[in-house]
C-alpha cells in the first residue's frame, strides 16, 4: 500500500530530515515549552512578561497567575504603553 495516496495527512510529503531539523531549530526561536514557562514563573524571576491574549470571557474563566491580560485586538493600541521593549514577551491564547 502506498501511504502517501492512502493518507490525507501524507498528501504533502514529509520534509527531508535535515530540513525538518532546521525548521524545528528555527521554530524554537519563536516558541517555548509550557513546562519551561511554568518553571521560570515559579522561580520568581522569569526574565519575561507573560501575556494572555484571549478575550475577556476566557481570561475570567481562568488564567496563569502573574499573566498580563492583553487581548489580541488590543495589542496595537495598548502594547507600547504596557510593555517594556527591553523585556521579552511570551504570549499564550
Q: Which residues on neighbouring strands pair with residue 92, listed in sequence order?
A: 52
Residue 45, in any domain of the structure: yes
Identify the CA nearest to 69 among candidates 84, 59, 57, 83: 59
Query: What is this structure's pTM?
Result: 0.73
Residue 20 lies in a domain: no
The per-residue pLDDT for 47 is 95
What's the structural domain count of the chain?
1
Q: What range does the domain containing 87 cover?
A: 32-93
Answer whether 67's CB lies under 8 Å from 51's CB: yes
The total of other beta-carbon atoms located within 10 Å of residue 70's CB is 20
| Element (DSSP H or E) covering residue 90 | strand 89-92
Spatial strand order in the sheet of 68-69:
68-69, 49-52, 89-92
Residue 1 has pLDDT above 60, yes or no: no
Q: Check which CATH number belongs to the domain holding 45 and give it.
A: 3.40.250.10
93: pLDDT confidence band, cut at 50, 70 and 90? confident
Amino acid at each position: 500500500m502506498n501511504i502517501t495516496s492512502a493518507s490525507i495527512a501524507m498528501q504533502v510529503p514529509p520534509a527531508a530530515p535535515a530540513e525538518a531539523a532546521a525548521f524545528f531549530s528555527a521554530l524554537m526561536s519563536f516558541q517555548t515549552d509550557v513546562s519551561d514557562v511554568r518553571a521560570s514563573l515559579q522561580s520568581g524571576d522569569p526574565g519575561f512578561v507573560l501575556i494572555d491574549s484571549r478575550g475577556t470571557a476566557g481570561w475570567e474563566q481562568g488564567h496563569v497567575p502573574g499573566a498580563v491580560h492583553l487581548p489580541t485586538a488590543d495589542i496595537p493600541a495598548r502594547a507600547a504603553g504596557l510593555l517594556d521593549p527591553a523585556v521579552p514577551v511570551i504570549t499564550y491564547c
